[in-house]
Amino acid sequence: MTVLDALAKNKSAAQQRLIDWLRIPSISTDPKYRDQCRAAGQWACDQLRELGFDAKLVETGDVKDGKGSGHPVVLATIAPKQSYSGPHVLFYGHYDVQPVDPLNLWESDPFNPVVRAARTGQAGGERIVARGAVDDKGQVATFLEACRAWKQTSGHATNGAAYTILLEGEEESGSANLERFVKDHAAMLKKTDVCLISDTGMVDRDKPAITYGVRGLAYTQITLHASNQDLHSGLWGGRCPNPITELCYVLSQLHDKDRRITIPHFYDDVRPISQAEREAWAKLSNDTGVTAESTLAKIGLKRDADVGESGYTFIEREWGRPTAEINGIWGGYTGEGAKTVIPAHASAKVSFRLVADQKPEVVTQQFFNWLKSKTPTGCRWELEDLHGGYGVTTPTESVTLKKAMRALERATGTQPYMIKSGGSIPVAGMLKSMLGLDTIFMGFGLDDDRVHSPNEKFEIACFEMGMKAHAMLIDELTK
């Protein structure tokens, strides 16, 4: 029996194991789910031990009575065969998930996974619908199931290849304790040669891809204060500043008419898109038929909604240009009925996606300086740097990257594309700066998977593709 035969034979059981993991509501941002986060990490740890890895939960944060203030990291190793001479791979993933709000928009319980067909008008086939289905439990599970098939057929979960596994429990909440963890385990992690992450996507169904770069991130929360109490709008309206109005006015100046970011010196460190990349990305769009119009249609928008920085295509804006987005804004009374107040303060969360050579700490300070220069009369700012991470680009001549390309082609029968991602995976920048590791992103998500949204899904065909691809990569590494 071959490893692919084993995967085919066990695909129903693999699906059930993923469903069991998805039932655990490991929302890392909410303290009330602390025990569930630990349970999700323990589930992964138990699976790895069953596969023959030396796996453990490592406490993070301030440790008291044997438990850390942070969510634990799953750390696992497996002894390679003595004859193995290939790269030592660090596989990174995360077991925590995003909150489920707004709950009323879910068609089913986000932690009671449902396997169903596509609805009328939806593309694709059967899918698992649950929080974490594709981000990132489902994609981590593709690797675990590949290891299970190799153990069944060769007696060794990685067929003798050298792997270290690092599964984080705080990726969705800013990775607050990961840098300290990497420092504490640097001697061990420096023995690895390359990082492999399955937390990205493909060009489209049946169009697999290897991602060789992701953007960085700077994430902030800002609050504008005025009076020391909420005020009666009839008595005080027109007499003093309304923080909501003033905050909206300031943030409306974040972009100019060409949708360029107006913060002074923001673009100073932006590495221009190379001509070679522009040509390659244009060819990819032509070859695949993936256009601004086709991608917008998947989210219910028409061609005229293709808005962004003037002078760049939709791909260039996503993969090669920085952006600024207001992710949330609130203040005053938003409950049922009427309460006509002028609020004492208003807040917003604002994030920046960064490209090569931009530093999140520099961009955050530039933004804060810009806000201070526009402080409305009678108001003051409270500014918080929430978290950030560096963008990374892996050299396309990387030997392991080429092995991943071959593995993906063997798994799918289709030559994969080389792409970048507009998303951010801060651990990749951290591993590059602290350990010198390049990262290869081999992901199996789709742009309509509703990541971070209600009704998140992972299509069964993509799940099976991921299992095959990881199995073939292990084979490529051990050749």
Question: Which pLDDT does position 64 carry in this prediction?
Answer: 81
> Which bin fits 48, alpha (ψ -120 to 50), beta or left (φ > 0)?
alpha
Res 254: pLDDT: 99
What top-level class would CATH report for the domain 3-214+393-477?
alpha beta
* CATH class, 216-270+322-389 region: alpha beta
- Residue 418: other Cβ atoms inside 10 A: 15
Q: Where are the domains of the chain?
A: 3-214+393-477, 216-270+322-389
- Is the pLDDT reported for residue 66 higher than 80? no
The encoded tokens of residue 148 equal 């299970």
The β-bridge partners of 418 are 210
Q: 335 pLDDT exceeds 90?
A: yes
According to the model, what pLDDT value does residue 65 have?
Answer: 76
Q: Going edge to edge, which strands form the sheet with 457-459?
A: 114-116, 127-129, 457-459
pLDDT at 356: 86
CB-CB contact of 196 with 89 (8 Å): yes
pLDDT tens-digit series, residues 89-135: 999 999 999 999 999 999 999 999 999 999 998 999 999 999 999 99
Q: Taking a C-beta distance cutoff of 8 angstroms, is the pair 29, 172 a contact? A: yes
